Amino acid sequence: MTRDLIIVFKSKTEVFEFIDRMNAAGAFTTTTGTPKEAKIGCGISAKTNAHNVNAVHKVLSENDFDGFFGVYSSVSVNGRTSRTRLV
């Protein structure tokens, strides 16, 4: 089972800024497609392991991301993935 967090923004600029700040904090983060459930955004979102939840909270709370849309939990089991909006 794999658990990830997908952080959705309305602009690519903020996605890449968030990824840079997460990686600088030592929490490996990369790009992924925006979940269809979001029905918003630029098509690219940030993805990190669910164990990095504290780093996600810290980076979001310490920076002014005007285009922040939400955080989704992505759980993959036996090739099937489910996503749930957390924030």
34-62 residue pLDDT tens: 999 898 877 999 999 999 999 999 999 99
Which pLDDT score, from 0 to 100, does residue 42 have?
79
Based on its alpha-carbon atoms, the radius of gyration of the chain, rounded to whole angstroms, reads: 12
Predicted local confidence at residue 10, as pLDDT:
95
* CB of 16 closer than 8 Å to CB of 67: no
pTM, rounded to two decimals: 0.93
Q: What percent of the chain has pLDDT over 70?
A: 100
User: Rounded to an integer, what is the distance from CA 45 to the centroid of its chain?
Assistant: 6
Residue 1 pLDDT > 90, yes or no? no
On whether the 2-85 domain is CATH 3.40.50, my answer is: no
Question: Mean per-residue pLDDT for 2-19?
Answer: 97
